[in-house]
């Protein structure tokens, strides 16, 4: 499969402070790729380099077949959509007028506005002035703005922050639909459930270094102790290693009818992240 993003030996140094240290990864076309890391890990710097807002100090960055020197070109910008922490809306204008501006800038058909407003569950709010919207609604308009022109690649920096679970699920469905239609999605999130549910692969970024890149399930299995956790009706908790010599012990426990619950030790993505980085997502 062709790659939408190829990063080789990327470094970014601000003054004497290295923000990104020799990072290499790729994102396949049609993939949902999650970049996870705590604040200050270098996620935003990475997105800024990938969108051309910053240039890398060293290394090669190629997006949709274009070298980083071409990231400012109109042709390149038409192919990508961006929702970053810097994204904003014109507060005095209506939702419709905001989206109409970007529809025209990206040369997308105006009928796309109604389609995307339905996708983000804002079909009734088009005529409302942006300043009168809640934070969550504004976030959904920003998502709509990033996706409206059906980009080949979309960068989403914390797309569902400030959203309630219902609207988060709505946005997730929209992103899955967009991805099924062929759009590559590169997202950063603090929400590990979101990353597990959405991403084909995730990368852990910590102190500007890439720690792990793989699918959420592969990482969970990799960092699993593979032990069985057993809870008996008597309140006893047992940890039994997943080894052939323990098979009889497990069989006996089940046969005795004492087992209230038994599950394997598969850590959540958040727990894997803690193991890898020794740090939580703050």
Residue 233 near another protein by CB under 8 A: no
Query: Nearest approach, Cβ of 227 to another protein (angstroms)?
Result: 47
Contact region with another protein (CB under 8 A), list: 20-28, 86-94, 186-194, 243-251: 86-94
Q: Are 71 and 52 in contact (CB under 8 A)?
A: yes
Q: Is 86 in the site for another protein (CB under 8 A)?
A: yes
Which one, of 202, 194, 148, lies nearest residue 167 by Cα?
194
State which of residues 82, 137, 143, 153 lies at the interface with another protein (CB under 8 A): 82
Cβ contact 253:231 at 8 Å: no
Taking CB under 8 A as the criterion, the residue among 5, 23, 42, 51 binding another protein is 51
Q: Is 161 in the site for another protein (CB under 8 A)?
A: no
Residue placing its CB nearer to another protein in the complex, 100 or 172: 100
Cα(89)–Cα(12) distance, integer angstroms: 29
> Quick one: 107 or 243, whose CB is closer to another protein?
107
Please report, as residue ranges, which positions from 181 to 200 form the binding site for another protein (by CB under 8 A). none
Residue among 26 and 100 whose Cβ is closer to another protein: 100
Q: Which residue has the tokens 């079909």?
A: 123
Distance CA 122, CA 145 (A): 12
Instruction: Compute the distance between CA of residue 151 and CA of residue 105 in angstroms, rounded to an integer.
Output: 13
Size of the site for another protein (CB under 8 A): 29
In the three-class reduction of DSSP (H, G, I as helix; E, B as strand; rest coil), residue 192 is classed as helix
Taking contact as CB under 8 A, which single stretch among the options 91-99, 173-181, 263-271, 273-281 is the one that binds another protein?
Answer: 91-99
Evaluate whether 186 touches 5 at the Cβ level (below 8 Å).
yes
**Site map (CB under 8 A) of another protein, residues 97-136, x = contact:** x--xxx-xxxx-----------------------------
Using rule CB under 8 A, residue 89 touches another protein: yes
Q: Residue 52 interacts with another protein (CB under 8 A)?
A: yes
Name every residue whose Cβ is closer than 8 Å to that of residue 6 and which is 6 or more positions away in sequence: 26, 60, 61, 62, 63
Stretch that binds another protein, among 81-89, 119-127, 228-236, 260-268 (CB under 8 A): 81-89
Pairing mode, strands 209-214 and 227-232: unpaired
Span interacting with another protein, options 18-26, 80-88, 194-202, 272-280, rule CB under 8 A: 80-88
Give the residue, chosen from 8, 24, 88, 215, that forms a contact with another protein under the rule CB under 8 A. Answer: 88
Strand ranges across the sheet with 66-67: 17-28, 3-14, 58-63, 66-67
DSSP for 74-141? HHHHHHEEEE-TT----TTSBHHHHHHHHHHHTT--TTHHHHHHHHTT-TT-TTSBGGGS-HHHHHHH
Which residues fall within 8 angstroms of residue 65, CB to CB, at 6 or more apart?
none
Kind and range of the H or E run holding 179? helix 165-180
Q: Does 54 bind another protein (CB under 8 A)?
A: yes
Among 60, 67, 90, 268, binds another protein (CB under 8 A): 90
List contacts with another protein (CB under 8 A).
48, 51-55, 72, 74, 77-78, 82, 84, 86-93, 97, 100-102, 104-107, 145
């Amino acid at each position: 499969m062709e790659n939408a993003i190829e990063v080789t030996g990327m470094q970014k140094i601000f003054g004497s402070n290295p923000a990104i240290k020799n990072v290499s990864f790729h994102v396949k076309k049609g993939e949902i790729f999650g970049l996870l890391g705590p604040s200050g890990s270098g996620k935003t710097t990475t997105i800024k380099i990938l969108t051309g807002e910053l240039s890398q100090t060293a290394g090669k960055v190629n997006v949709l077949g274009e070298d980083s020197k071409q990231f400012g070109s109109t042709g390149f910008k038409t192919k990508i959509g961006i929702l970053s922490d810097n994204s904003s809306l014109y507060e005095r204008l209506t939702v419709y007028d905001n989206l109409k501006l970007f529809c025209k800038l990206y040369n997308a058909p105006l009928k796309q506005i109604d389609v995307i407003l339905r996708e983000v569950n804002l079909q009734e709010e088009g005529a409302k002035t942006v300043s009168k919207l809640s934070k969550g609604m504004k976030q959904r308009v920003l998502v709509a703005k990033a996706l409206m022109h059906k980009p080949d690649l979309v960068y989403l920096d914390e797309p569902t922050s400030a959203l309630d679970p219902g609207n988060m699920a709505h946005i997730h469905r929209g992103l899955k639909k967009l991805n099924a239609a062929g759009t590559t999605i590169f997202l950063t999130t603090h929400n590990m459930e979101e990353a597990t549910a959405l991403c084909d692969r995730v990368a852990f970024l910590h102190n500007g270094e890439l720690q792990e890149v793989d699918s959420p399930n592969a990482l969970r299995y990799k960092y699993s102790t593979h032990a069985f956790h057993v809870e008996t009706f008597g309140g006893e908790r047992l940890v039994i290693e997943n080894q052939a010599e323990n098979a009889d012990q497990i069989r006996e426990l089940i046969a005795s009818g004492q087992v209230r619950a038994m599950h394997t030790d598969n850590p959540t993505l958040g727990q894997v992240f803690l193991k890898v980085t020794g740090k939580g997502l703050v």
